[in-house]
Amino acid sequence: MVKDFIFPDVGEGITEGVVVKWRVKEGDVIKEHDVLAEIETDKAVAEIPSPFSGVVLKIHHQAGDTVHVGEVLVTIGEKGEKIPVRKSVSVVGTLEEAEDTPTTGSKVKPTTKQSNGKLALPAVRNLAKELGVNLDDVRGTGKDGRITENDVREATTLERDSGEKMTEITVKRKYDFYGYVDRVPLKGMRKAIAVNMARSASQAVHVTHFEEVDVTDLVAHREKEKARAEQKGIKLTYLPFIVRAVVESLKNHPYMNATMEEEEIILKKYYNIGIAVDTGDGLIVPNIKRAETKSIMDMAREIHDLSEKVKSRRFDRSETQGGTFTITNVGAIGGVFATPITNPPECAILAVGAIREKPVVIGGKIVIRKIMPLSLSFDHRITDGAEAARFVNELKGYLEDMDFFLMEKTESA
């Protein structure tokens, strides 16, 4: 029996994805649970398994295409079978939902039911609105009578064939008044980042506080500890030290470790510290869960492992969820100060600049010290500039005090 496998509703508000790579080709014999394709959804690359066995009769999207929930990915049947008219085809497009865990939170699927009783995802309703299609007149071919995007597009085709509606042709020129241009579709991870940052900029009231920290002693301490870390197969950077100092500072300044929900400020009593990772296509922010319970060496190992997983796009979505505070290391590429945008719904984000030698006055004498720039952006709805300054002052104190880090070494010895 010929069946269409549609791009399934994977939950968490995802309505589209980009085909990264097909693992099968037309004519291949596949088994149930074999991976059909890799599709980039939001910020992760998901492997899409087949719900049944058979022969791949037709692949409906090419690598690089954007596919929406409800659109047909691939048609599967028996060898030699022909693909019938779309409306006579059985449609399968569901995935088993993983059980919720404390780190992922509850999953909320997009509302599909309309007041008139029709079933349609938000993306389908938006498409119908754009194309001027009345969903009351559309017969759904999806599960439980759900209207898919293909149903909406077929409705526009029927209207065009009957002469009732003509599709407008859009021309996109490869040049403007001044010269030639390239057009890059906003899709996949870049689109997700754009939506997320626009939401942050439009909802949060951003203010940035700047400070410089003398980390001369920290630099020397880290250099000394690098050899011990390498013996354990750990790459020791400055980030674990910064995370440790941030967590201690957050304990005394809870409004920096908070979110806002409607008319309530939620003060988090746990510390999931996000580390922004540059993938080349954009930043992804996995977080160290319960950082307050982990040593500097443990965090160094976890930061490295998370970074590698993110760069290869083989991380679990739960690893980017539940963050309470974010650190972004602009100094890794030579940056000094920045005005970072908070990672919603978090209150604050800390940008760490490149450590540079600068002349400073100590005891009336000019000496050369190693200085680390800090830029703290925060949501002014949740807290104020005075509290941000107190938080950064405490953070500065920890980063300049080697006894703070040596105490951990003594306690773990």
Which one has a higher pLDDT value, 127 or 213?
Answer: 213
With 0-12 / 13-18 / 19 or more C-beta atoms within 10 angstroms meaning exposed / middle / buried, residue 166 is exposed
Instruction: Indicate left, alpha or beta for 275 from its phi (over 0: left) and psi (-120 to 50: alpha).
Output: beta
Summarize the confidence of residues 30-54 as an average pLDDT.
Answer: 83
**Does residue 239 contact residue 383 with C-beta atoms inside 8 Å?**
no
State residue 171's pLDDT score.
55
Query: Which of 173, 192, 169, 191 has the alpha carbon at shortest distance from 182?
Result: 173
In the structure encoding, which two tokens stand for residue 105, read together?
């939170």
CA distances (Å), origin 67, targets 14, 15, 371, 383, 409:
11, 9, 48, 41, 52
- pLDDT per residue as tens digits for the range 228-261: 899 999 999 999 999 999 999 999 999 999 999 8
Domain ranges of the chain: 3-161, 189-412
pLDDT band at 199 (very low <50, low <70, confident <90, very high): confident
Average the pLDDT over 389-400 and give the result: 97
Say how far apart CA 233 and CA 236 lie, in whole Å. Answer: 10
Considering the entire predicted model, what is its pTM? 0.64
Mean pLDDT of 389-402: 96
The whole-chain average pLDDT of the chain stands at 83
Return the residue matching tokens 């990915």: 73
Residues 297-340 have pLDDT tens digits of 999 999 999 999 999 888 888 999 999 999 999 998 888 999 99
Hey, what CATH topology would domain 3-161 get?
OB fold (Dihydrolipoamide Acetyltransferase, E2P) (2.40.50)
Instruction: Give pLDDT, residue 86.
Output: 56
How far apart, in Å, do the first and last CA atoms of the chain sit?
A: 66
Window from 139-143, 219-223, 345-349, 385-389 with minimum mean pLDDT: 139-143
User: Which amino acids are annotated catalytic?
Assistant: 380
The pLDDT, as a whole number, for residue 213 is: 97
Query: For the domain 189-412, what is the CATH superfamily, name and number?
Result: Chloramphenicol acetyltransferase-like domain (3.30.559.10)
Instruction: Give pLDDT, residue 158.
Output: 56
- Over range 93-109, report the average pLDDT: 40
Percentage of the chain lying above the pLDDT 70 cut: 84
Closest-CA residue to 399 (of 252, 212, 210, 223): 212
Which tokens belong to 135?
């969903």
pLDDT at 348: 97
